[in-house]
Amino acid sequence: MTTYKAACMPGDGIGPEIIAEGRKVLDSAGEKFGFDIDWTDYDTGAERYLKTGELISEDELKELSKFSTIYFGSIGDDRVKPGILEKGILLALRFYFDQYVNLRPIKLLKGVSTPLANKKPSDIDFVVVRENTEDFYVGIGSRVKSGKQRDELSVLRDLYNVKFGIDVETDADELAYQIGVVSRQGSKRVMEYAFDLSMTRDKKLTSVDKANVLTDVYGLWREVFEETKINYPAVSTDYNFVDAITMWFVKNPEWFDVVVTPNMFGDIITDLGAMIQGGLGLAPGGNINPDGTSMFEPIHGSAPKYKGQNVANPLATIWAGSLLLDTLGEKEAAAAVVSSIEHSIEKGAVTRDMGGSMGTNEIGEWIAKDILNK
Ligand X SMILES: CC(C)[C@H](C(=O)O)[C@@H](O)C(=O)O
User: What span, in angstroms and rounded, lies between the C-alpha atoms of 333 and 253?
Assistant: 28
Bridge partners of residue 101, in order along the sequence: 131, 288
Residue 308 beta carbon to its own copies: minimum distance, rounded to whole angstroms? 23
Which of ligand X, its own copies, none is residue 176 near (CB under 5 to 8 Å by kind)? its own copies
Q: Which is nearer to its own copies, 2 or 178 (CB)?
A: 178
Bridge partners of residue 169, in order along the sequence: none
User: What span, in angstroms and rounded, lies between the C-alpha atoms of 307 and 30?
Assistant: 28
Residue 261 beta carbon to ligand X: minimum distance, rounded to whole angstroms? 12
Which of its own copies, ligand X, none is residue 8 near (CB under 5 to 8 Å by kind)? none
Identify which of 7, 16, 25 has the alpha carbon closest to the alpha carbon of residue 309.
Answer: 16
User: What span, in angstroms and rounded, lies between the C-alpha atoms of 180 and 217?
Assistant: 8
Which of ligand X, its own copies, none is residue 356 near (CB under 5 to 8 Å by kind)? none
Which helix (H) or strand (E) segment is 22 a member of? helix 15-33
Q: Which is nearer to ligand X, 98 or 365 (CB)?
A: 98
Which of its own copies, ligand X, none is residue 184 near (CB under 5 to 8 Å by kind)? its own copies
The single-letter DSSP state of residue 351 is B
User: What span, in angstroms and rounded, lies between the C-alpha atoms of 72 and 87?
Assistant: 15
Residue 272 beta carbon to its own copies: minimum distance, rounded to whole angstroms? 4
Q: Which is nearer to ligand X, 130 or 343 (CB)?
A: 130
Bridge partners of residue 222, in order along the sequence: none
Which of its own copies, ligand X, none is residue 255 near (CB under 5 to 8 Å by kind)? none
Residue 49 beta carbon to ligand X: minimum distance, rounded to whole angstroms? 15
Identify which of 239, 244, 328 has the alpha carbon closest to the alpha carbon of residue 290.
Answer: 328
User: What span, in angstroms and rounded, lies between the C-alpha atoms of 304 and 78?
Assistant: 8
Q: Which is nearer to ligand X, 212 or 231 (CB)?
A: 212
Binding stretches for ligand X (CB under 6 A): 86, 90-91, 212-213, 243, 267, 299
Residue 80 beta carbon to ligand X: minimum distance, rounded to whole angstroms? 12
Cα radius of gyration (the chain) = 22
Q: Which is nearer to its own copies, 50 or 247 (CB)?
A: 247
Q: Which is nearer to ligand X, 21 or 267 (CB)?
A: 267
Residue type, 213: V
Q: Is 370 left (phi over 0), alpha (psi -120 to 50) or beta?
A: alpha
Q: 86 in helix, strand or coil?
A: helix
Which of its own copies, ligand X, none is residue 178 near (CB under 5 to 8 Å by kind)? its own copies
Residue 212 beta carbon to ligand X: minimum distance, rounded to whole angstroms? 5
Q: Which is nearer to its own copies, 49 or 67 (CB)?
A: 49
Residue 97 beta carbon to its own copies: minimum distance, rounded to whole angstroms? 14
